[in-house]
Structure 1
């Protein structure tokens, strides 16, 4: 598979591209990679996306552990190898058990989840699979996370779906990772 919208050398970027690329490099990500490579073709879109993503990834009301779980569920639903390669190791470092990560990769229901993890998993699976969330699943998430947390959970699903769509269409190159690739 050929990458459709690969890296642009810094000296070949427009001033707007250079500014938004530098903002990503100077931020908590520390480098320009993944979805920001194809998004660079639309600097204003990239700036807006990176700002939303910075909040959702680093400051979400759910915290890193649960945010990373939501990202993995979204990556699995979209068969998004780049998101998986980046976020599976972060999820493990953040406290998501490796057997849970493996179960998600293999499209199996993980066993022994904590109540907050189960609430995230159920919410994300329903939203990604059914394009809606049942009242019962919503009520469990609301009880666990409150309205702020549920809103951020919806945002995580939407944002990482957006990134998955961008990278799937652009055929973004998968970075090297300690995570095994998602199986077909």
Structure 2
């Protein structure tokens, strides 16, 4: 596959693109990579997406460990190699057992998941595959995370679906990673 919207040379950037790129570089990500490369073609969209993503990834009400499970499920459901390459190692550093990461890659729920991890997995899988969440799963998530946590969990799924769509359409290549690529 050819990268349809690959990196732009610095001299090609408009002033708006330069400012948007610098904001990403100066933020917690520290570099312009992954979905932000194709998104740079629309600097206002990129800036808006970056702000949402920064909140959802680093400060969501469910915390980074559980956010990483939601991100991995979304990457798996969208066959998104870039997000998988980036987030599988982050998930492990956040405390997710490697066997759980492997199970998600294989589209299955690991019996080793903690209660909160299993609930996030179920919520995300239902949302992606059924386009809704069952009353029982929703009630369990509400009891564990509260309304803000449930909304943030929905937001993580939506945000990373957006990124997956962008990168799948742009055919963004996966970066080098310690994680094995997602199986076909």
Same fold (TM over 0.5): yes
1:1-184 aligned at under 5 Å gives the runs 1-184=1-184
Runs of 4+ off more than 2 Å: none
SS of the residue 1:158 aligns to: helix
SS of the residue 1:47 aligns to: helix
Counterpart CA distance in 2 for 1:127 and 1:107 is: 14
Counterpart CA distance in 2 for 1:173 and 1:17 is: 21
Paired residues in the alignment total 184
SS of the residue 1:160 aligns to: helix
Structure 2: runs of 5 or more not aligned: none
Structure 1: runs of 5 or more not aligned: none
1:130 Cα shift? 0.4
Counterpart CA distance in 1 for 2:10 and 2:25 is: 12
SS of the residue 2:51 aligns to: helix
CA contact (8 A) 1:119 1:144 kept: no
Which deviates more, 112-121 or 74-83? Answer: 112-121
1:11 Cα shift? 2.1
CA contact (8 A) 2:53 2:159 kept: yes
